[in-house]
Copies of this chain bind each other. A is one copy, B any other.
């Protein structure tokens, strides 16, 4: 364990993935101590942190060890069992976001109920416990419908598009729900685009809203983010930011909150929540005054929040998904020579097909040019193109 310098606090993050890795960069500038809970020393964040607790996120002993000497516990994912967090809180450990808040990121059925009760616009939804209930829901809202496990999914896992009552019956009969999960049925929204609205919120209630971004999902994985969302009306942009601020206040979020939204002609609808730095905000490292990672740290430390302002007219972030190139580094020469303004982020993860292994960002005034450059770079790193 690293002894913190003087009175700078130590933030301990559950999870050793790329979100923790990028948070480590922000911690270096602020001078705050940063510790990660990683499953092994080769995890993305563990490669670049000195203060590492080895262990699993669902191991009470590991979580307790992580908390020793830390000023606040936070997360790079939502999968810590709530009762383990409650035990930390009962022992006087500061956990942000609070377990009572985090549960709405962990359980989509609880989230839907809470938001609907507060009048925050969501797709039509129902918890279904049988094939018949799913069929009734589909007949009511129209097929196809979405079926989701309320807990445990991410990056498109745990989400199915279901075209008929037969398909619903087959899924419910064969898929295995994680403990405490239920089936959540949702209408399949005819959206015009997908959006994400990110806010940072501190325990004292200060909040800042990042520009609303357009996200493109491919096979359930975020692949492209454009900030600000092109062509989004001021009315819908303000509505999206208001929804995010309202959700943050309603749930008492501390740290970053990402609200994924469907944009429709009738307004915006909440799709999913994440209470942590989120893929839709990676552009902020190179494209905003204050990155989402620094604002997450500032928020969980109850420091005043930094400006989320864009540094250019547009920012485009494209994820690098593992592809045919087993090694990313040899691609650097070509990419960096071709585009000296390209910002490359690589996570130190072993390349596997479809896995998020890095991202690229470009900022500037010509959106079409930025899109071409960012996609070229990501495709080249993935081995999809070779020139």
Q: Which residues of A contact B (CB under 8 A)?
A: 2-3, 5-9, 21-22, 24-25, 27-32, 34, 41-42, 46-50, 52, 208, 285, 289-290, 298, 303-307, 309, 311-312, 326-330, 332-333, 336-337, 340-351, 358
Contacts and interface: CB of A to CB of B under 8 A. Distances in A.
A350 B5 contact: yes
Nearest to A351: B6
Contacts of A47: 2, 5, 50
B306 A340 contact: yes
A223 to B, nearest CB: 20
A341 B289 contact: yes
Contacts of A21: 28
A261 to B, nearest CB: 25
17 contacts: A2-B41, A5-B350, A8-B348, A9-B329, A22-B28, A25-B28, A29-B346, A31-B345, A31-B347, A31-B358, A34-B48, A46-B50, A48-B50, A289-B341, A304-B340, A305-B340, A306-B341
A6 to B, nearest CB: 5
Contact of A30 (B5, B7, B303, B344): B344
Contacts of A350: 5-6
Contact of A31 (B27, B34, B208, B346): B346
B31 A307 contact: no
Contacts of A31: 328-329, 345-348, 358
A336 B306 contact: yes
A289 to B, nearest CB: 5
A304 B345 contact: no
Given A307-B340, A346-B31, A42 B332 contact: no
A303 to B, nearest CB: 5
Given A24-B28, A25-B28, A31-B347, A336 B5 contact: no
B346 A303 contact: no
A311 B208 CA distance: 22
Contacts of A309: 341
Nearest to A32: B329
A303 B7 contact: no
Contacts of A340: 208, 289-290, 304-307
Contacts of A346: 8, 29-31
A97 B309 CA distance: 38
Central interface residue in A9, A49, A332, by most chain B CB within 10 Å: A332
B6 A333 contact: no
Contacts of A32: 329
A344 B29 CA distance: 7
Contact of A6 (B24, B30, B311, B326): B326
